[in-house]
Structure 1
């Protein structure tokens, strides 16, 4: 009798699983739609948006590749959009998610010009700005499983997660699809298999994808049995259960004609005098009852699972339209200490009024600039975190990118993108280096500085007065493009801020 129940249960489980995958709506994660730029109904932008979404969700879209982008209209009503489906999903699941998202956007973000929708199966994004082939780590969210790793195994588990995720990031960055899945086994603790998945939008360069993935990996909570970090341009996730379609890893799957036949179900022939009729009656009655019971249990479990939240998200800031949070920007102090070789002198890049700056290199090879603030700031932890979030939202090609922060004890640390060619004063005031600054290059540097300052003063969502603009705070990237540094330090460091009193002497 147990063999009957076992077979029926396996059949029902497979059936319900396939039904769930094929029938349910995409699993919503989050959305970002800042209301800084909006449009009105029946406007040209609204018409262009509907046409763009129809194009992305049309039957002719590139669901097989899982990625497509489009541009439509003329300024100021021009907009670009894209979708990215999880790389292990079928064409049909991808199509269904994109179609659902194209409709869902008008419910979640009814009149915003810049929108990103995150689902477990896909991501849909559009904007009035040009967003194609551009790395963007804004609008991120971190999810963590509620179950903790046993304290005895946390270090080993962290090492396993990071090594596996970093290997996956390396492979994904050189893959044409910018996608990789990976498993890892360990007998050092009670869990056996770790499942990892990383993915970038394929329009990113190899370096941009690698940088994006390493940022999301550095933000993962490794003291939990599962977690994910999602931003506009990439995402990373690990679990201790198989959450993706393993067949897309490349493991050969059995064909239908070579699959083993199902176990035969045979009813023994009744023997005379042994109650054969009663055996048939038992089978006829008990098996349907078992089927109904198991079906009800499976349906109830599925509904309960849909209602239960498996992940806990980091708390959001008061601005509900932007999910860039302090939690999504925070780095672990031990990781920073290791990246800078415990803030060794050999990694020291310089020292300014706010503290010392070190070069940091993470195990994945990603380089950052680590500013270790002096301990004279009068801010509390919450104020410090809030100001970091504000400044991190400011992005421009001529502004040094603030990647995150670390706050532990008295340590207040800022993590910036690493700019290789040092600062402008290194070239201006060195007789041997001055020769590299011909007039054409100087003119381009001047224009870049002006654009960066203009963005701070006029084009950003909040006005920031630099208050310490000097050649030492103008960094030069590998192509000698200027990037303004140390903007917003009055906010982050907790200095007295008086925007109206611009004649006050502050800084160098």
Structure 2
């Protein structure tokens, strides 16, 4: 094998490693939760398709700079909201994944919505949903009951009261815990603080009502969601702290540097041999 061929193999390995680690790093944020497609359809290559393509492109571009944005392009209106603890690069990855999944799930539909673990994306040909409070239930998931342990239920309710309170409403995103119970809640960025508070209070009450003494519960309303779980329920893969996310980024940088350095060294050695020969 020539030195140049070896360098090419090293570079191929480099690209594969970067892609693989990128998938591992941002994979959880892209986990599917729910989707909905409108019944009205538009024909291919129609003016609305051009408007929609321009809208999704604008939303994708904005997600690399902001965790929330809304746009209108022609007759298409849409918005996205990334989870409040995501970095913008992970937000951009999540929104790109949402756009790709909606294209498969809801082809040629006038309106659609998709919730991934790390972001929410919605578009419509009307646009009257932006800036309007909507507390209708879109999705719920409840685990098995823990047997009605009174201490767990008390701490769960304390934590949900915090997630449905004024501090969460003012911030739009809040992480909370009470003993062994953890959770977080978020509103879409088009709501006012008062509307967010109303939505989160409704979500907190609904998850208690629907999930009872479940070890974990998720309630997604049209404009907000509330999620809770008992520590350890999701295992070590349930999420990573910001420091762990930084460690992954450092690992990627180190591996990329080593592989790129080896490829460069092989190319330089090859050139030296040619010049000496």
TM-score by length of 2: 0.71
Question: CA offset at residue 139 of structure 1?
Answer: 5.7
Q: Which residue of 2 aligns with 1:180?
A: 174
Q: Is the 8 A contact 1:168 1:182 kept in 2?
A: yes
Q: Does the C-alpha gap of structure 1 residues 18 and 149 become closer, same or farther in structure 2, counting only changes over 3 Å?
A: farther
- Aligned residue for 1:144? 142
Distance 1:34 1:22, change over 3 A: closer
In the TM superposition, what whole-angstrom CA distance separates every residue of 1:384-409 from its partner, at most 9, and x where no partner exists? xxxxxxxxxxxxxxxxxxxxxxxxxx
Alpha-carbon distance change, 64 to 194 in structure 1, aligned in 2, over 3 angstroms: farther
Match of 2:68 in 1: 67
- Shift of the alpha carbon at 1:141? 0.4
Q: Quick check: 1:88–1:244 contact (8 Å CA) kept in 2?
A: no
Among 231, 240, 255, which residue is 1:241 paired with?
A: 231
Gapped runs of 5+ residues in structure 1? 1-15, 186-192, 257-508
Counterpart of 2:219? 229
Structure 1 residues 169 and 63: alpha-carbon distance in aligned structure 2, compared to 1, 3 A threshold:
farther
Corresponding residue for 1:167?
162
Residue 110 of structure 2 corresponds to residue 106 of structure 1: no
* Distance in 1 separating the partners of 2:54 and 2:227: 33
Whether contact under 8 Å (1:200, 1:213) holds in the other structure is yes
Rounded to whole Å, the distance in 1 between the matches of 2:200 and 2:65 is: 23
Q: RMSD in angstroms over aligned alpha carbons? A: 2.6
Question: Closer, same or farther in 2 for the Cα pair 1:90/1:156, shift >3 Å?
Answer: same
Cα deviation code 1:254-312 (max 9, x no counterpart): x99xxxxxxxxxxxxxxxxxxxxxxxxxxxxxxxxxxxxxxxxxxxxxxxxxxxxxxxx
Q: CA deviation at 1:181?
A: 0.2
SS in structure 1 at match of 2:164 = helix
Alignment of 1:50-449 (within 5 A): 50-58=53-61, 61-73=62-74, 78-129=75-126, 130-138=128-136, 140-145=138-143, 147-151=144-148, 153=149, 155-170=150-165, 171-175=167-171, 178-185=172-179, 193-220=180-207, 221-241=211-231, 243-247=238-242
* Equivalence for 1:47: 50
TM-score (norm 1): 0.40
| Distance (whole Å) between structure 1 residues aligned to residue 131 and residue 240 of structure 2 | 28
Alpha-carbon distance change, 139 to 102 in structure 1, aligned in 2, over 3 angstroms: farther
Shift in CA distance, 156/17, structure 1 to aligned 2, threshold 3 Å: farther
SS for the counterpart of 1:113 is coil
- Bigger Cα displacement from structure 2, 128-137 vs 231-240: 128-137
Q: Counterpart in 1 of 2:262? A: none
Do the aligned residues in 2 keep the contact of 1:157 with 1:222 (CA within 8 Å)?
Answer: no
Q: CA deviation at 1:109?
A: 0.8
Structure number with the higher helix fraction is 2
Q: Distance in 1 between matches of 2:140 and 2:193?
A: 24
Shift of 1:90: 2.1
* Partner of residue 33, structure 2: 29
Counterpart secondary structure, 1:57? helix
Cα 1:33–1:230, aligned 2, differ >3 Å: closer, same or farther? same
Q: Deviations over 1:100-149 (max 9, x none)?
A: 1112112111122121101111110011222221112346100112x321
CA deviation after TM superposition for structure 1 residue 54, in Å = 0.9
CA displacement at 1:41 relative to structure 2: 1.2
Structure 2, unmatched stretches of 5+, are 1-19, 233-237, 248-277
Q: Report if aligned partners of 2:163, 2:200 keep a CA contact under 8 Å in 1.
A: no
- The alpha-carbon distance between structure 1 residues 25 and 173, as it changes in their structure 2 partners (threshold 3 A), is closer
